[in-house]
Amino acid sequence: MRTIYFDNAATTPMAPEVLEAMLPFMRDHFGNPSAIHAYGRKTRAAVEQARRTVAALLNCAPGEIIFTSGGTEADNMALNSAVRDLGVRHIITSPIEHHAVELTAEQLEKMKGAKAHWLRLDPDGRPDMAHLEELLKATQGEGALVSLMHANNEIGTRIDLDAIGSLCRKYGALFHSDTVQTMGHYRFDMQKLPVDLITCAAHKFHGPKGVGFLYMRSGVGLKPMILGGSQERNMRAGTENIYGIVGLAKAMQLAYTGLEEHQAHVQGLKDLMKKRLLEELPGIGFNGDVSSDALYTVLSVRFPDDGKGEMLIYNLDIEGVACSGGSACSSGSNKGSHVLAALYPGRTGANIRFSFSRYSTAEEVEHVVGVLKRIFHSV
């Protein structure tokens, strides 16, 4: 049976070139980077070269990159350390953030007394800028951190980092953005972008799992969340994931090579799927922003509440199609997607997220549309 992978927002297949770059550090160069002998110097040099590579791609200083175990740790460090170290008393965020931010904000409110403020959103999940300014005015001078993801991982709606960052600067607030879904898919110039903290996970752009980074603008002044050693320039204790870090840097290099061509290719696949679904399946709709401003890798589809969508994700899996589900349903036994529940309360019916990569093809899109047509037109 043919299989098609359209769940790239969850994770991407590792690029062969990334594995090739990692293998010497899995097999031959195994020294601890903290050791002063030749084995250690070899791996230390690899870690620092990877840091320089990432920094050059982001147009920032190498010292502003802190390697972590992934996006979740980086998000947790940004919020927890800001409250602990920088006197942050107000966290302004939204109800559709990744749980790494949403649950951390809730925990900090319960345990550390930092007030969480939940930003109003428009129907597509974009922040209400007037409400954001209202919250920033109300908390000015009291220590505020704004944490809003660059693009939503479920519906693809993307925010304007420049506009939000400029507003934060106006009122003296820190700005953190979870860029896990957009790192490796858009170019970032940290010399120009008014953002203080951003996060990355390598496996979202054909790199290895278990590695990411936190970008921390020079002067922000966070202290380490994980203690125990002087690794990562005293910012994260623990022996470095050498081959993961090497793989992350290689994956970023690949991502930024011909990035515009990859964007056009994947956007074309998303547009094709929208068009073909509307032609073949009357009654469907889409969640979030589906314009060209949205994240080009993600398409969230809403299917009619006619009973046929109840087992849709399982039926697609049986047909060899891998994708993700989410439903803002009203059943107390099935919470569904917190993103869709926040934006479309009370709405029922199946919701499927299809997400594409540079390896996806138009022929795969046509095949999946055919599978969906067969499922929904079956008696």
Catalytic residues: 329
Sequence-ordered list of residues with C-beta below 8 angstroms from that of 263, at least 6 positions apart, any chain: 185, 296
What sign has the CA pseudo-torsion 86, 89, 93, 95? Answer: positive
Alpha-carbon distance of 300 to 156, in angstroms, equals: 8
Say whether 361 sits in a helix, a strand or coil: coil
Sheet strands side by side (includes 285-286): 285-286, 298-302, 351-355, 324-325
Whether 54 contacts 252, CB under 8 Å: yes
Residues in the chain: 379
CB atoms within 10 A of CB 40: 14
3-state SS of 209-250 is CCCEEEEECCCCCCCCCCCCCCHHHHCCCCCCCHHHHHHHHH
Report strand pairing: 197-201 vs 174-178: parallel
